[in-house]
Chains A and B, each alone.
Chain A
Amino acid sequence: MTYQMTVSPDFSPQHIAGWYIFNTWLQKNLGLDIHLELYHDFESQRASIQADTVDIIYANPFDASMLIREKHFEALVRPLGKVDEVVIAVPANSPVNQVEDLQPGIRLAFTDDPNVHLVGMIMLEPANLSRENMNMQMVSSYAVAAKKLLRGEADAAIFLKEAFDDLSNLTRRELKPIVESQISDIFHALLVGPRLVDKAETIRRLLLSMSETPQGKSVLIALGIDGWASVDKEDAEFMIDLMDAIQ
């Protein structure tokens, strides 16, 4: 049979090719047929998950919760030293210097990236801001969120830190981060679904030793990660409890 692999749509655009290379490497090393399907928004990926077509997924923390608790997926590994942090930024010339300077009624740009949105909204709470008293502007990407700030069409925006750091120097110079999360317990993870659970251990071992071969190493470079760290059942459950606590 052919298995399906997919990647959380918040992957950085520079690494699209990397995921295809990773899939080729994985198929060769496992002797399995795997088709990589990349969705460009969270909604279409969710639909595919609901239809039980996904077997391997590089999932954001929010979707990982749902996949493990409701769809019987198992977490195998997480990218080494990489955690999901969130930045709230305003235009560089804004008088706002900290979250508490933001006032009700502001225009907030955000993407549909669920865990980034969740953490971002929590960081706005100290200023007593919520979806009820802000002008919420959903945008299709972090690049669009940055553009909105530059054009004066939004007063603040929520970014995945990695995406914020990936903006061009020119753009970043026009923006001012006012708060950055330091959570460190929330991360993306690679999960396998029920049809691959019997191969979970094999796949985990393969991924953990990936950086030991030159070929594996070059695939990691294409993905933009240093290697993988093992995630056991309780690590994953802990992260889910944490996500549940802040929802």
Chain B
Amino acid sequence: MENMRPEDIVGEYQEYELTYYDGTSRKVLVTDIETPYPDGKLIVSRTDTAGIITHVNQAFVDMSGYTREELIGQPHYILRHPDMPRAAFKDLWDTVQSGKKWEGYVKNLRKDGGYYLVFASVLPNIRDGKIVGYTSVRRKPSREKMEEALRLYAKMREDENA
């Protein structure tokens, strides 16, 4: 995946190098500007079994800052924020690949370097007994629970980097 570009970024940013599960890596540019979660909306996406995005709804497009064309066909880690611990996503994948639903708090990275906070549910799409893809639905999180999760993630990141 291409590096994030300074001309797309709004505000002052810091640079990080992220390495993804498939061994690829890219430069991400990160600001501390939050885009508030819109009331009453659900952010929906679907992927194939490898985590490649196949469907996004309008709320997903609006919140991520990418166009629909930029998202379809990309790995879902396009939204991975450097503040998120690896272990959270390992747990996500282990859970959904075993056929169960995963739920958790996630900080997502926008195209403009900012972030948005969600409570996400990810589940396998089971058709005729087989997993054919995954669906994720995000909703507005409880502020209190979100902050608790972010504190935990910061600690997990420290341990992962130790």
Contact = CB atoms under 8 A, between A and B. Distances in A.
A33 interface: no
Given A179-B40, A182-B40, A185-B57, A241 B125 contact: yes
Contact of A123 (B40, B121, B127, B145): B40
Which 4 residue pairs of A and B lie closest in terms of their CB atoms, listed nearest first? Answer: A245-B137, A245-B121, A128-B142, A181-B40
14 contacts: A126-B142, A128-B142, A128-B145, A181-B42, A183-B40, A185-B42, A185-B44, A238-B135, A242-B44, A245-B121, A245-B122, A245-B135, A245-B136, A246-B121
Given A123-B39, A238-B135, A244 B123 contact: yes
A242 B135 contact: yes
A98 B139 contact: no
B119 interface: yes
Contacts of B145: 128
B101 A244 contact: yes
Contacts of B59: 182
Interface residues of A, number: 23
A11 to B, nearest CB: 24
Contacts of A126: 37, 39, 140-143
Nearest to A87: B40
B41 A183 contact: yes
A180 B123 CA distance: 25
Interface of B: 37-42, 44, 46, 57, 59, 101, 119, 121-123, 125, 127, 135-137, 139-145
Given A180-B40, A181-B40, A242-B135, A237 B144 contact: no
B41 A245 contact: no
A165 interface: no
Contacts of B125: 237, 241
Nearest to B135: A241
A99 interface: yes
A123 B39 CA distance: 8
Given A237-B127, A241-B123, 4 more contacts: A100-B143, A241-B125, A244-B101, A245-B101
A212 B123 CA distance: 41
Contacts of A98: 39
Interface in A86-143: 98-100, 122-123, 125-128
